[in-house]
Amino acid sequence: EIDTGPRPSPARPLSVIAHRGASVAAPEHTLAAYRRAIEEGADGLECDVRLTADGHLVCVHDRRVNRTSNGRGAVSALELADLAALDFGSWKDRDADPYESPDTVTDVDARADDPERTSVLTLERLLQLVAEAPRPVELAIETKHPTRWAGQVEQRLLELLDRHRPTTPVRVMSFSARSLHRVRAAAPHLPTVYLMQLLLPRHRDGRLPPGVRIAGPSMRILRAHPDYVDRAHQAGNQVHVWTVDDPADVELCARLGVDAVITNRPRQVRAQLDEL
Ligand code: G3P
Ligand code: CA
């Protein structure tokens, strides 16, 4: 047998986090999208949370429901019962996967009568799904526009986590350092992720707001500043990158040694990483 010499030690595993669920294959932020993400082998689930007029946290990305439902208006102006009457799935027709050949149509389960595909999803229901999952699944929860609620989003979020006590890793992400500060002040044990759309000069050396140990740069930042990953690691921080759908970006993230990629297409990204 030929001695090929010592093998390189295996790289630290790169987590695949499903962005809004498996949101190429199913309508974003629906129970169907998260179930699908678990089936597709995602290590974790990402979701955005907003507060309804009657104080429920729901998984919706935009300020308004107009894009992802058949209703109109701001989530903050609607009650949970109003949202429950809307269809959050039918807007998504069979979608081509932009990174597969033009003829490839993603296998979208388009049953319009499936409530898991059309109903608004509460964070509480998502926590139940994670608790029932057949294997451990992480949860990365992003607080959206928390400043206008003067801490209520974080308070409600921490109450829910306290009640459900997930046994798998949970972290809170935000573009708002103030939101993360509130979370840390009330729950210092909970990991926080500082999301970045731009790499500000004060963060170029890999440092983050006090107490935050995970950087969440956009893929655009990473392409422009590939040395950022080493700097963050040297500063003792992890790097979770969004949104990593393009195979070339997946490869770059793996090469740079990022800790997690947040993607709309977990199955394909998992398969690509397994081949590397
Ligand atoms: O995971 C972070 C990423 O989701 C932030 O961007 O606009 O998709 O919430 P956005
Ligand atoms: Ca998000």
Q: Mean pLDDT, to the nearest integer, of 19-47?
A: 97
Q: Is residue 245 lining ligand 1, measured as CB closer than 6 Å?
A: no
What is d(CA 92, CA 73) in angstroms, rounded to the nearest whole number?
19
Confidence at residue 7, expressed as pLDDT on a 0 to 100 scale: 37
| Domains in the chain: boundaries | 15-48+124-275
Ligand 1 within 6 A of 195 CB?
yes
Answer yes or no: is the C-beta of 212 below 6 A from any ligand 1 atom. Answer: no
Mean local confidence (pLDDT), 236-243: 98
| pLDDT tens digits, one per residue of 54-75 | 999 999 999 999 999 999 999 9
- Give the whole-angstrom CA distance, residue 264 versus residue 254: 17
pLDDT value at residue 145: 73
What pLDDT was estimated at residue 266?
A: 97
Q: Distance between CA 137 and CA 123 in Å, rounded?
A: 15
Q: Alpha-carbon distance 231 to 229, whole Å? A: 5
Q: How far is CA 194 from CA 9, 84, 136, 263, in A?
A: 30, 31, 24, 17
Atom 7 in ligand 1: residue holding the nearest Cα: 61
Give, for ligand 1, the residue of 28, 45, 50, 61 to mutate: max count of ligand atoms closer than 8 Å to Cβ: 61
Q: Residue 8: pLDDT band by 50, 70, 90 thresholds?
A: very low
Band (pLDDT 50/70/90 cuts) for residue 224 is very high
Tokens found for residue 5 = 């010499």
Higher per-residue confidence, 266 vs 109: 266
What is the percentage of the chain residues whose pLDDT exceeds 70?
A: 88
pLDDT digits (tens, 9 = 90+) for 154-211: 999 999 999 999 999 999 999 999 999 999 999 999 999 999 999 999 999 999 999 9
Judge if the beta carbon of residue 142 lies within 6 A of ligand 1: yes
Is the predicted pLDDT of residue 132 greater than 90, yes or no?
A: yes
Query: Is 35 or 148 the better-scoring residue by pLDDT?
Result: 35
Q: Where are the beta strands (DSSP E) in 75-228?
A: 138-143, 170-174, 192-196, 214-217
| pTM for this predicted structure | 0.92
Spatial separation of the C-alpha atoms in residues 101 and 162, rounded to whole Å: 45
pLDDT of residue 146: 64
pLDDT of residue 106: 53
**Minimum-distance ligand 1 atom for the alpha carbon of 46:** 1
Q: Is the pLDDT of residue 129 over 50?
A: yes
In whole angstroms, how far apart are CA 20 and each of 139, 167, 176? 11, 21, 19
Q: Tell the residue nearest (CA) to atom 2 of ligand 1.
A: 242
Sign of the CA dihedral running 228, 234, 239, 245? positive
Please give the mean pLDDT across all residues of the chain. 91
Above 60 in pLDDT, residue 11? no
For residue 149, pLDDT beyond 80: no
Would you call 19 a catalytic residue per the annotation? Answer: yes
pLDDT 10s digits, 89-112: 988 865 667 777 655 555 555 555
Q: According to CATH, what is the number of the domain 15-48+124-275?
A: 3.20.20.190
